[in-house]
Structure 1
Amino acid sequence: MRILLLCSSFNGLSQRAWLALRGAGHEVSVELAVSEQVMLEAAELAKPDLVVCPFLKEKVPAALWQRHRVVIVHPGPPGDRGPSSLDWAVAEGAREWGVTALQAVAEMDAGPIWGYRMFPLPAEAVRKSSLYNGPVADAAVELVLEVAAKAADGEFRPVPLDYGRAEVVGRLRPAMRRADREVEWSESTEAIVRRVRAADGAPGGRAVLCGLEVRVFDVFRGPALVGAAGVVAARREGAVLVHTGDGTVWVGHLRLDRADGVKLPAVMVLGDRVGHLEERAGYTEITYERTADVGVVSFDFYNGAMSTDQCRRLASALRYAGGQDTRVLVVRGGEVFSNGIHLNVIEAAAHPELEAWMNINAINAVCREVVECSGQLVVASVGGNAGAGGVMMALGADRVLVREGVVLNPHYRTMGLFGSEFWTYVLARRVGASAALRLTEDALPVGAAQAVELGLADGVLGGGRLEFERSVLEYAGALASGGEWEALVAAKGARRAADERRKPLDAYRAEELAEMSRDMFDDRRGFRAARGAFVRKARAEVTPAHLAVHRGAWDRASHM
């Protein structure tokens, strides 16, 4: 079937839908909804059998849905309507939520229903972004495949929206207002956490902190300390500890509430206002644990971005872990495994080019610790999406395990960078030189199963994040206790020694950094503009040609 994906952006969910439909054998092209005219033009060129909108903020033009079957994936249960569905689900503490596939009609979210999925929500508030990228995305991908199958069935008819039906449990909800985002530090910690998480990662909770009007993100419950509400009590690893009405809350990230504000670690935004405060234990982005012969370095960086400081701390943790007497080292990422260097911190720096240079050298040090860990077998635990240098960091490990549903973007092209993190070594070592070149030049997402087929990963494990992590630990334990451990470590050492003789890691590093210096300081590929557009969430002006195959020839899709 010929399917056109119409999206506001080619984000994680859109990429998963694209991968799933292609995997099911459909011809798929993408158009970003940059204007009504572009949407109509795309349908005229694509002549699709079906238009699917997995992530669309814009209204579908009447001329489009009147001529084509257009199905919208809405992040709410049947009957739910409005642009703030997930925000209200988190803010009101819903215990069950859903995703609905519905046909586009004149009235927003009121079309006939093609299918739906329901799932439970935990009692503790989850980040809106976590909800979207987790159970919502999982359900949406299932629905997209179901919709494609139903579209091929000439007998299928979607069910009209009827609030009298038992399964139609949603309702029309208004868009959240600015007042709904207001954070009063005198409220309870639980209320503050829920309000902020309902707005994470956009637009954030609204608050005044240290005299600044800010947007608040990335919050965690703190210790039960006594103090004046709204006063910053301590800081640690970029976060600040703020007194609430009944305790404290850790605030990881802030953004000045103005047009040019950039989301940054809270300490960077507050600057000298908190510079005198001591660091307090109780909050950390990096941990090390060991059980018998397995050590685990866990890191959880907000949105997968790794600043210079974070990279230095992670490299130190990996160096420590590599020096222990364990047999297997698990390198475990967080909700997002890693997306490489921290573009927001770079953009906000007094000298962005210099900060970018420091950042790429710092992340290279992290990757080197993974590659050169000689006394242990290293297992990369990729439970969340990864991109650019984050993928290359994982590929430095001896074994790479990915969670089902994870999307990898092993390229730097969209940011105007050649790339570093020893990618010219670890990627080619994994998939071969020609495949490595194709992956980095095509700049297309890779799904978990495809990653194994290509050699990017060694296995796919199912389940939620916690279940996945338990499975990885079981795998690591079996690897550590197996009778082949000594032989595997010896073979690993021999391969590394042979690779080093053929071409030292320092040579790969020097060659990559020579290219990166031209990208960062001379801006030969447009890194400055691409970085600024990413940080400020600039609206795309055109769909990349490698996605919009309907603007070329459909048969190109088979070569993508």
Structure 2
Amino acid sequence: MRILLVASAYNSLTQRVHAELRNRGHAVAVEVTPAGRDVVAAVDRHDPELIVAPLLKTAVPREVWTARTCLIVHPGPVGDRGPSSLDWAVHEDAAEWGVTVLQAEEEMDAGPVWATAEFPVPRTGKSDLYRGEVSDAALDAVLTAVERFASGRHSPTAQGGAPTAQGGAPAAPGARARPPMRQETRRIAWADDPTATVLRKLRAADSQPGVLDVLLGGEWFLHGGRPEPRLRGRPGELLATRAGAVCRATVDGAVWIPELRARTGPGVPRACKLPATHALAGRLPRLPELSVPPLCPAGDGAPWSDITYREDGPVGTLSFSFPGGAMSTGHCRRLLAAYRAACERPTSVLVLGGTRDFFSNGIHLGVIEAAPDPAAESWANINAMDDLVEAVLTTTDRLVVAAIGGNAAAGGVMLALAADEVWCRSGSVLNPHYRLMGLYGSEYWTYSLPRRVGAATAERLVREALPVCAGQARDIGLADRVIECPPARFSAEVTRLAQHWAGSSGAQSRLVAKKAESERREAVTPLAAVRERELAHMRRIFLDPGAPYHALRRAFVRKQPSPARPAVPHEVADA
């Protein structure tokens, strides 16, 4: 069936719906449409049988929804209306929530219901929830709605295709029409709000729009929040720093805030989200820097860290959680130190990742954009990523699993491909390319990608620059295993499977084959030569002020209209 996706942004959900519908044989076009007239033009251009809007912040024009069936994905249950549905659910600590696929009509979120799906709401950030439980529910509901539409031969009144009027469907508990959530509601009262309330407000604003606050004489949007089990101080006071985050006291405890974004005035470009200590550079008073060991334990009562380690018998799990999946030079270096320490442990299988949400999206474009010399920081960052990937590629004394619980892109995908096996959660979306940022790419992709999928498929993936769903990734060899489970179960499932693999008869023979492959690789395609060739391309791009990468990076991190994306030549090496 010819399906047109219209969206206000090509976000994670739009990418997943796009990839999954394509993988099921539909002809799918995507239009990012900021205004109603663009929707009309897109419909005229593509002449779709069905229109689906996974993320649309503007109303569908009347001339579109009166002429064609247009399905809207609303991140709320039946009876819920308004643009801040998920924000309110997290803010009010809802235990259950839902997704509704409804037909566009005159009144927003009030059309007939084609499909619904419910999900539990874990106490995690809104953006993590959106890419996890919401994404799973939304995809189930979209696929159901598309199937119902097709079975009714494109007529909602035909047998099997009829939607349900909202008045005929019971509203979910807590569902109602609500206004947009404003900063007045999100604001933290540091002198009054207990830690649980502070964390809930931060979760409801993550990663957009953040919680507006005053700190050290400036106005900042606070992003993310983790509880601190031990430190105490005067409410609102900054107590310490760790791994780029700042710790701030509440009335009954403290929270770690990993990222800040400066508030800018009218006519001033939007500021980048940055690690908190980076954003506050020059303003921070003398604060203790609380270090954590390279292998910081996870769990309740443990100090917060964005990199943690645990052991379960023969399996070590090195997990990391960097906001937005972006890995700065500092992130890469700290993760490399932790990886080397993990390789000193007496384990036979090392899991890299294994948590919900982002695995990695590669270099940190925000830190690069905010640097005094973005070209120099780009160069430092890509070399730090290469160092990390090289360490994984050259590990020959144990088996390494890259466990992707959420999404991964660009260098983050290549980091995963450096492992012996790639295991994805069923909801994962991979973007194994660099072209949309005007980059050639590094992280040994010209070796790892064709080794996995073959030279022809590798060339197609980087040229088309389309998202790949987990099932397709397995089918083409980009992933070895797809784990069917909700986000909250992924870590436990990975550990169980890794323990089984560690105890299997094939593990030792796989390790012997891995060492032999490493020796053959160095004789045929030395990693140093691969790195040198890739970095030569990257250096030329970084040092050219007119290269599209610089404008594309700036537009991406500052949420500006994106310039035209270039065609970047790519070459793949023989595996």
Give the TM-score band, short-chain normalised: over 0.9
CA-CA distance at 1:43 after TM superposition: 0.8
Tell me if 1:223 matches 2:234. Answer: no
Which SS does the other structure have where 2:213 is aligned? strand
What is the rounded CA distance, in whole Å, between the counterparts of 2:220 and 2:443 in structure 1?
Answer: 34
What is the rounded CA distance, in whole Å, between the counterparts of 1:344 and 1:88 in structure 2?
Answer: 28
What is the rounded CA distance, in whole Å, between the counterparts of 2:144 and 2:181 in structure 1?
Answer: 31
Which whole-Å deviations, capped at 9, do the CAs of 1:108-151 have from their partners, x for residues lacking one?
111111121122224xx421112211111111111111111111
What is the rounded CA distance, in whole Å, between the counterparts of 1:527 and 1:520 in structure 2?
Answer: 8
Counterpart amino acid of residue 325 in structure 2: G
**Structure 2 vs 1, CA of residues 235 and 372 (structure 1 numbering), >3 Å: closer, same or farther?**
same
Which whole-Å deviations, capped at 9, do the CAs of 1:52-89 have from their partners, x for residues lacking one?
10111111111111111111010111111111111111
CA-CA distance at 1:300 after TM superposition: 1.1
Matches within 5 A, 1:260-271: 260-271=270-281
Matches within 5 A, 1:138-287: 138-152=136-150, 153=152, 154-155=158-159, 156-162=161-167, 165=170, 170-186=175-191, 187-259=193-265, 260-274=270-284, 276-280=286-290, 282-287=303-308
Matched-pair contact (CA < 8 Å) for 1:333–1:384: no
**Structure 2 vs 1, CA of residues 167 and 188 (structure 1 numbering), >3 Å: closer, same or farther?**
closer
Matched-pair contact (CA < 8 Å) for 2:125–2:206: yes
Equivalent position of 1:314 in the other structure: 335
Matches within 5 A, 1:28-177: 28-122=28-122, 125-152=123-150, 153=152, 154-155=158-159, 156-162=161-167, 165=170, 170-177=175-182
What is the rounded CA distance, in whole Å, between the counterparts of 1:513 and 1:164 in structure 2?
Answer: 58
CA-CA distance at 1:544 after TM superposition: 11
**Structure 2 vs 1, CA of residues 174 and 216 (structure 1 numbering), >3 Å: closer, same or farther?**
same
Which SS does the other structure have where 2:102 is aligned? strand
Counterpart amino acid of residue 147 in structure 2: A
**Structure 2 vs 1, CA of residues 176 and 331 (structure 1 numbering), >3 Å: closer, same or farther?**
same
What is the rounded CA distance, in whole Å, between the counterparts of 1:541 and 1:63 in structure 2?
Answer: 30
Matched-pair contact (CA < 8 Å) for 2:423–2:480: yes
What is the rounded CA distance, in whole Å, between the counterparts of 1:466 and 1:89 in structure 2?
Answer: 18
**Structure 2 vs 1, CA of residues 436 and 165 (structure 1 numbering), >3 Å: closer, same or farther?**
closer
**Structure 2 vs 1, CA of residues 224 and 315 (structure 1 numbering), >3 Å: closer, same or farther?**
closer
Tell me if 1:401 matches 2:423. Answer: yes
Matched-pair contact (CA < 8 Å) for 1:34–1:541: no
Equivalent position of 1:410 in the other structure: 432
**Structure 2 vs 1, CA of residues 94 and 324 (structure 1 numbering), >3 Å: closer, same or farther?**
closer
Q: Which moved more, 1:360-369 or 1:517-526?
A: 517-526
The structure 1 residue matched to 2:401, chosen from 344, 361, 379, is: 379
Q: Which moved more, 1:395-404 or 1:173-182?
A: 173-182
Counterpart amino acid of residue 514 in structure 1: A
**Structure 2 vs 1, CA of residues 248 and 168 (structure 1 numbering), >3 Å: closer, same or farther?**
closer
Matched-pair contact (CA < 8 Å) for 2:3–2:52: yes
Unaligned runs of 5+ in 1: 546-560
CA-CA distance at 1:292 after TM superposition: 2.8
Matches within 5 A, 1:344-355: 344-355=366-377
Q: What TM-score results when the alignment is normalised by the length of structure 1? A: 0.93
Which SS does the other structure have where 1:40 is aligned? helix
Counterpart amino acid of residue 23 in structure 2: G
Q: What TM-score results when the alignment is normalised by the length of structure 2? A: 0.91
Counterpart amino acid of residue 498 in structure 1: R
Which SS does the other structure have where 2:513 is aligned? helix
What is the rounded CA distance, in whole Å, between the counterparts of 2:359 and 2:89 in structure 1?
Answer: 26
Matched-pair contact (CA < 8 Å) for 1:339–1:387: yes
Matches within 5 A, 1:332-371: 332=353, 334=355, 335-371=357-393
Counterpart amino acid of residue 83 in structure 1: P
What is the rounded CA distance, in whole Å, between the counterparts of 2:506 and 2:104 in structure 1?
Answer: 58
What is the rounded CA distance, in whole Å, between the counterparts of 1:322 and 1:305 in structure 2?
Answer: 24
Matched-pair contact (CA < 8 Å) for 2:556–2:562: no
Tell me if 1:486 matches 2:508. Answer: yes
Matched-pair contact (CA < 8 Å) for 2:548–2:565: no
**Structure 2 vs 1, CA of residues 541 and 433 (structure 1 numbering), >3 Å: closer, same or farther?**
closer
What is the rounded CA distance, in whole Å, between the counterparts of 2:437 and 2:237 in structure 1?
Answer: 39
Number of positions where the alignment pairs a residue of Structure 1 with one of Structure 2: 543
What is the rounded CA distance, in whole Å, between the counterparts of 1:44 and 1:435 in structure 2?
Answer: 33
Unaligned runs of 5+ in 2: 153-157, 293-302, 568-575
What is the rounded CA distance, in whole Å, between the counterparts of 1:518 and 1:542 in structure 2?
Answer: 20
Matched-pair contact (CA < 8 Å) for 1:340–1:390: yes
Equivalent position of 2:481 in the other structure: 459
Which SS does the other structure have where 2:261 is aligned? strand
Equivalent position of 1:554 in the other structure: none
Counterpart amino acid of residue 330 in structure 2: D
Matched-pair contact (CA < 8 Å) for 1:163–1:169: no
